[in-house]
């Protein structure tokens, strides 16, 4: 009887420890909300290979693995990073901090992050992190005038009108 009690107590303690360890991970609600924000924000358009060519669809193992749509213009050639590998190296807190101060080359619409709450950004992190590492790092940025590996879209960008702030 005493050994049965010990076995039950050990099981309860192990289950409690497993529950406590899992409690620190993102909730399914956060992950689903993050998936919605990534989809609505168009992140897959550039960060998922074949997304645009396949009408907004890709196998789960390709989602957000980088290098989907690459861009060349007066700034050089940019390659969207593999977000699945990137989020594995940083915490959610660092992700939020980095997105709040992000300024990138075209065509990344970095300014859109200012419209999202910290919770939204944390949920995006939770979703991307839930996808687990996959793929390889994207090609490094290539400076203007240097040979860049294709594929990429060449953008001819007009001079922007003067910024008038009211």
The whole-chain average pLDDT of the chain stands at 87
Which position has the token pair 């609505």?
40
Q: How far apart are CA 65 and CA 85, in angstroms?
A: 8
Tell me the average pLDDT across 108-112: 95
- pLDDT of 142 > 50? The answer is yes
- pLDDT of 17 > 70? The answer is no
Tell me the average pLDDT across 122-136: 97
Q: How far apart are CA 130 and CA 63, in angstroms?
A: 11
pTM of the model: 0.80
Q: How far apart are CA 92 and CA 100, in angstroms?
A: 12
């Amino acid at each position: 009887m005493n050994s049965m009690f010990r076995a039950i107590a050990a099981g309860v303690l192990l289950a409690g420890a497993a529950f406590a360890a899992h409690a620190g991970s993102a909730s399914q609600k956060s992950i689903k909300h993050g998936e919605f924000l990534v989809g609505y924000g168009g992140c897959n358009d550039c960060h998922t290979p074949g997304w645009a060519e396949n009408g907004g669809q890709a196998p789960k193992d390709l989602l957000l693995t980088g290098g989907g749509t690459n861009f060349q213009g007066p700034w050089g050639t940019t390659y969207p990073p593999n977000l699945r590998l990137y989020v594995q190296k940083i915490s959610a807190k660092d992700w939020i901090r980095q997105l709040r101060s992000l300024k990138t080359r075209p065509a990344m619409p970095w300014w859109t992050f200012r419209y999202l709450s910290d919770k939204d950004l944390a949920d995006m992190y939770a979703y991307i992190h839930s996808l687990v590492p996959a793929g390889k790092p994207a090609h490094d940025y290539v400076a203007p005038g240097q040979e860049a590996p294709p594929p990429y879209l060449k953008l001819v960008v007009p001079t922007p009108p003067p910024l008038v702030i009211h």
